[in-house]
Amino acid sequence: MVLIPKKERRAVLEHLFKEGVMVVKKDYQACKHIEMEDVPNLHVMMILRSLASRNYLSEIYSWQWHYYTLTNEGIEYLREVLHLPAQVFPSTLTKQRPTRPALSAGESGEGKGKGKGKRWGKNDE
C-alpha cells in the first residue's frame, strides 16, 4: 500500500482534469513523473490505477507505458472532487479555434482542378 499526500493527489487530479489525458511509464523506481516533476512516478501510477479501476479512466497499455483518458463519469467525478463548475471542460474536449479564417477572400477554390485526381488508363502510361 502506498500512502499519497493530499497535496500530491490534488496536483495529479488537477493536471488530469486540465489535460484530459495522462501518460505514465511503468517504472516503479523512477523518482519523478515526466509531466509533473514534483510528484513521484509511483504515486501517479497508483492514483491513475485507482481511478481506472472505478471506470473514471480508460487505460491502454503498450510498450511499458500506460495511456489514460478521462471518461464522462471521470469528468463528473473530478468536478465534484475539485469543486469545479459545470462550464469547465478538459482541454481534450474543447474545440480549438483556427487563428485564420477557413476561406479568405482570395481563395475561392478556382484553379485547383476538378477534385477527382488523375485517372490512369491504358493509354496514359
Average pLDDT over residues 88-108: 67
pLDDT tens digits, 36-59: 778 888 898 999 999 999 999 998
Give me the helix-helix angle, 6-19 and 41-53, nearest 10°: 70
Residue 124 pLDDT more than 70? no
Query: Which comes out higher in pLDDT, residue 48 or 98?
Result: 48
Domain boundaries along the sequence of the chain:
6-82
Supply the pLDDT for residue 51: 92
58 within 8 A of 69, measured Cβ to Cβ: yes
Short-list 123, 15, 31, 21, CA closest to 68: 21
Supply the pLDDT for residue 19.
Answer: 87
In 1-117 the beta strands, taken as DSSP E runs, fall at: 21-25, 57-62, 65-70
Average pLDDT, the chain: 80
| Cell numbers found for residue 40 | 513521484
Judge whether residue 108 has pLDDT over 60.
no
**15, 43, 42: which is closest to 30 by C-alpha?**
42
Q: How far is CA 61 from CA 23, 58, 66, 73, 93, in A?
A: 10, 10, 5, 21, 22
Question: What is the architecture of the domain spanning 6-82?
Answer: Orthogonal Bundle (1.10)
More confident residue, 104 or 34: 34
Asked whether the predicted pLDDT for residue 98 surpasses 60, the reply is yes
Could you tell me if 42 and 30 are in contact, meaning their C-beta atoms sit under 8 angstroms apart? yes
Tell me the mean pLDDT in the region 9-26.
89
Q: 57-62 and 21-25: which strand pairing? A: unpaired
Tell me what pLDDT residue 113 has: 60
In the block, cell 483556427 appears at 98
